[in-house]
Amino acid sequence: MAEFRVNLLATMITTTTYGVWLPGDVRGYVEDGKVLPGDPRKVEAARALMTAEAVVLTTTEQDAVFDGLCRGVVEFNYELLAVSVESWHVHVLVSHETDAVKTVVGRLKNRMRQAVDEVSPGRGRVWAKGYDKRYCFTDAQVRTRMAYIERHAGCRAVPRP
């Protein structure tokens, strides 16, 4: 299915580290674009399928994630509007011209993982499969997403221009 790109100004992308927010999580979880309530049986089933420990990024790894993200944004000619790197998730607000969100996420997750590998060789898998995306078609939506990210800014954040 093609993405709806008319007047798309930016996309807020959220991705979590591996194993920290499993399907069925008591906080709720997203499946096929729908927020669902927690389900303890589903969490246990997901945990049983994990092939490694849950990933919680150290401060050094968070710095590396930020640096890798910035390098990827430059490499692929995106515009980084806001970012927050936390120990278990990343929020990114990015303008990405013609690239599909799936492509943007794949590229940026890869660059962030490579950066973590530089400071923690052999760390293995960093990111969970999937991501959340929120499209911004108006300046007001962009400002709302920027404010959200700024409120949640942890280790590294890009200040508002």
H helices present in 76-157, as ranges: 101-119, 139-151
pLDDT tens sequence across 88-128: 999 999 999 889 999 999 999 999 999 999 999 998 899 99
H helices present in the chain, as ranges: 40-49, 59-75, 101-119, 139-151
For residue 3, the model assigns a pLDDT of: 54
Question: Which whole number is the average pLDDT over 133-156?
Answer: 88
Q: Give a yes or no: residue 3 inside a domain.
A: no
Q: Give a yes or no: residue 2 inside a domain.
A: no
74 and 118 both lie in a single domain? yes
- 4 pLDDT higher than 90: no
- 157 pLDDT higher than 80: no
For residue 44, the model assigns a pLDDT of: 92
85 and 44 both lie in a single domain? no
102 and 32 both lie in a single domain? no
For residue 159, the model assigns a pLDDT of: 46
45 and 110 both lie in a single domain? no
49 and 59 both lie in a single domain? no
Q: What is the CATH number of the domain that holds 125?
A: 3.30.70.1290
The first and second tokens of residue 22, run together, are 């499993």
45 and 124 both lie in a single domain? no
DSSP 3-state assignment of 106?
helix
Q: Give a yes or no: residue 122 inside a domain.
A: yes
86 and 32 both lie in a single domain? no
- Parent domain of 92: 10-18+55-157
**CB neighbours (10 Å) of residue 31?**
11
90 and 107 both lie in a single domain? yes
pTM for this structure? 0.86
- 155 pLDDT higher than 80: no
For residue 1, the model assigns a pLDDT of: 42
For residue 127, the model assigns a pLDDT of: 96
Q: Give a yes or no: residue 64 inside a domain.
A: yes
How far is residue 156's CA from residue 83's CA, in Å, rounded to a whole number?
Answer: 7
83 and 136 both lie in a single domain? yes
pLDDT tens sequence across 26-78: 888 877 778 889 999 999 999 999 999 999 999 999 999 999 999 999 999 99
125 and 47 both lie in a single domain? no
- 151 pLDDT higher than 80: yes
Q: Give a yes or no: residue 60 inside a domain.
A: yes
Nearest Cα neighbor of 161 from 64, 77, 79 is 79
Q: Give a yes or no: residue 5 inside a domain.
A: no
The number of distinct structural domains making up the chain is 2
111 and 44 both lie in a single domain? no
Q: Give a yes or no: residue 4 inside a domain.
A: no
Q: Give a yes or no: residue 35 inside a domain.
A: yes
- 85 pLDDT higher than 60: yes
Nearest Cα neighbor of 92 from 76, 73, 116, 115 is 73
Question: Which whole number is the average pLDDT over 78-94?
Answer: 95
26 and 65 both lie in a single domain? no
